[in-house]
Structure formats: structure tokens, C-alpha cells
Amino acid sequence: MMKAPPGEGSGMPGPGNLFAHIPENLDQEWIEELLRDSSVRIERIVSRGQSSPLDFWYDQAEHEWVVVLAGKARLKIKRQPEIILGPGDTLCLPAHTKHRVEWTDPQQDTIWLAVFWKP
């Protein structure tokens, strides 16, 4: 996972574009924090063929809501069937919902908008 340097991207004052300023080479998922305050964090995540490591499960203390803006992804929630997400698809993951990214499209950018908040 590669994090954008602070102050780069849409978090700056003024207009931004969620489809712009994406690194050409993405060996790792690109995560850019767009907004943060005491109750919420919003990130733009760009995947290009990345997936979660084998046997790794996210288990976050925050709720997470995601929307796929472009591309495709397959997610797995522990003990549930895989979920396929494409442009416009959303998913809400309550805190401590064990999940992983099984696959993202290696032929195009999968651009996610993720909103995190505390229970």
C-alpha cells in the first residue's frame, strides 16, 4: 500500500478531480487521504491488479462505506460469497467485519472512494 504525500490531491482547497493525478506506475495500491476530521476520514484508493495478501483479512475498528467509481473488484467477507463491484456499486462494512480484496482489474484502474467513521 502506497500513501500519497500529505497535501497532494483533492484534499487541498479548491476543486479537485478523483480521476486525475494517478501515478503512472502502481506497484502497490495508491491511497490518498482527501479529508479527515475527528469523526470521519475520506480516502481515494486506486488499485491496478492488487489484492489482499493470502490469508490476510482487514479487521478495522471503524465502519467503512465504499463506492467503486471506475474499474472492477472482487471482495470477500468472511463466511460469505464473493462480491463483485463495478462502477457505481457501493458496500457498507460495519466495524470489525473481516474482509479482503480478492481481485482488482489489472487492465484498468479501479478507483474507490472510501468513507470511514467511528462506531
**Per-residue cell: 95:** 466495524
pLDDT tens per residue across span 65-78: 999 999 999 999 99
User: Strand, coil or helix: what is 73?
Assistant: strand
Residue 116, all three cell numbers: 470511514
pLDDT tens-digit map of 10-56: 455 678 899 999 999 999 999 999 999 999 999 999 999 999 999 99
Q: Which fold has domain 2-9+29-117?
A: Jelly Rolls (2.60.120)
pLDDT in tens, 69-117: 999 999 999 999 999 999 999 999 999 999 999 999 999 999 999 999 9
Say if CB 33 and CB 4 are below 8 A apart.
yes
